[in-house]
Amino acid sequence: MKSRIIFVVSMLVVSFAVVATAQTGAEDSPRPVIGRSMVVTGHGIVAASQPLAARAGVQVLERGGNAIDAAIAANATIGLMEPTGNGIGGDLFALIYEAETGELYGLNASGWAPSGRTVEFLRSKGFDEVPGRGIYSVTVPGVVAGWDMMRERFGSLPFSESLAPAIYYAENGFPVSPVISRGWARSSEMLAAHPNSKETFLPGGQAPKLGEMFRNPDLGASLRRIAEHGRDGYYKGQTAEAILKISEEMGGTFTADDLSEFRPQWVTPISTMYRGWKVSEIPPNTQGIAALIMLNLMEQYPIGEYGFHSAKALHVAIEAKKLAYADMLGYVGDPDFSQIPVEPMLSKAHAAERAKLIDPAQAACEVSPSYFPGITTAEGNDTIYMTTIDKDGNIVSLIQSNYSGFGSGLVPPGVGFMLHNRGALFTMEEGHANTVEPRKRPLHTIIPAFMEKDGVQIGFGIMGGWNQAQAHAQFVANIVDFGFNIQEALEAGRFTKGSFTGCDVNVESLIPANVRTELTALGHELSVRPPRTGGFGHGQAVMGTPEGIHFGASEPRHDGAAVPQAPSIFDR
């Protein structure tokens, strides 16, 4: 009875901590109809878009690993199981919360362009813009180097243990899940275009169907090399040689040094305060700053008073998105190559002035970036997001991607993974922050996120190309302005605008019809999509509380699950 009372009190404390910051009137707002409940436990949780991958992370927790070890295990496994969106041929970003110190660390494991990748080189090959697929869209994959740095600084288990589940499934097979099978089938034509990708990902000449067993022994061998040699098992030796071979075959410019000399960076997260909550993102070269700018603009309006899924609240958020993304596209690139005005972009005073551009009676179809003296502007969807929390409250918020579905379309011989096409986000316009150059990192869409207040920490993310920053801002508003829990905040109907000009915007039919009519009257050109479709992204979240109660959420727009750790009952 005593333990039950303590649990109930803990739940009341958590509910108050999340809801108390909601704006006046939020309690009267309608709440989303959800399909799932949160997972609640006093132990660890892994939330990922593939349940078997989430379970792999939990297995590592149950073996004594921490949130970092579990994140590596789940990420390696989902790279096998959801190759449409990620894998060891892609990049990685992570926010790591260390419960003992209360510190938040950022990891940028995005790779650089190879030697020889210049505007002049691409023009000599007949390109007027950076290709969307093929070898000239490939940058050095950063994920394995990212794992290595995470494990070395914060992990407690060797790669031989954290990669064991992924190796098992690669060699023994797993049944393909529903959403992933559909995405796989949509890429069949591209996968058939090169013999390596066809052999790896189209067994028997076709994409694996729902429930069909898929094996990838080549990937298992690649993971075994990492388990034995760490980062050198990828950026040197057999795997590196295979990457160089496909580069040479396709006329690329990769060198052995481009691979072996690449190192990720520990970075200081950027953040803003949104109505008492500290919201953090990875700094440029990512779009994370756009989420924070968007929140700063939304903060100028009493969105909680307007009400959830009200036309007034949605209008402000959509207009804030346009202004925030104009600044992000105007200034964000690799900070090692150009000056990026992060502080003025995140200034509350600047947000107050820029928010005045939002006309409450009319949607803006064209917006311009802000002007920051002395700074040159720059012009500038397939991903996984997962998050872990361990029994001690450590949290990893991690995102990993191939960029477009299956990335570049190129599989190095005998390695079992696709090279990403993240370099497609470079521009060939001279003098811009995001102009392609050797050893430069492109503007990135993928962003993990984190928010905290009064001892409550939430690791969250929502994947989906340029959808991500605007989805992050909507998630935060759902928590802060409307008092939703993390599952409700993920499942609530969203808008997304993938373009950077015009008044077009996609909305889920979960947004009421009368509200859509009001938005149309304001000049928004709506495209209404059925609920739970892929264009609005999908995400996961975990939450830790001062009482040691942990919550997990995974939304039904994908196959995912939040899986709790079991206590060691039978080992006693």
- How many Cα atoms sit within 13 Å of 42 on the Cβ side? 10
Distance CA 512, CA 528 (A): 11
Beta carbons within 8 Å of 186's beta carbon, 6+ residues apart: 405
Decide: helix, strand or coil at residue 557: coil
504-508/525-529 β-pairing: parallel
* The two three-digit tokens of residue 548, written as one number: 């040691």
Report the interhelical angle of 67-81 vs 51-62 (nearest 10°): 150
DSSP run (H or E) holding 87: none
Q: Is 357 left (phi over 0), alpha (psi -120 to 50) or beta?
A: alpha
Decide: helix, strand or coil at residue 350: helix
CA dihedral 398, 402, 404, 410 (to 10 degrees): 180
- Give the number of other CB atoms < 10 A from CB of residue 95: 27
DSSP run (H or E) holding 544: strand 539-544
Contact between residue 526 and residue 497 where contact means Cβ atoms under 8 Å apart:
no
* The two three-digit tokens of residue 167, written as one number: 């190796």
Q: Which of 383, 387, 427, 496 is catalytic?
A: 383
Distance CA 460, CA 39 (A): 15
Looking at this protein, which amino acid is placed at residue 11? M
Contact between residue 299 and residue 274 where contact means Cβ atoms under 8 Å apart:
yes
- Give the number of other CB atoms < 10 A from CB of residue 415: 27
Catalytic status, residue 377: no
Beta carbons within 8 Å of 503's beta carbon, 6+ residues apart: 363, 364, 365, 523, 524, 525
- The residues assigned a catalytic role are 383
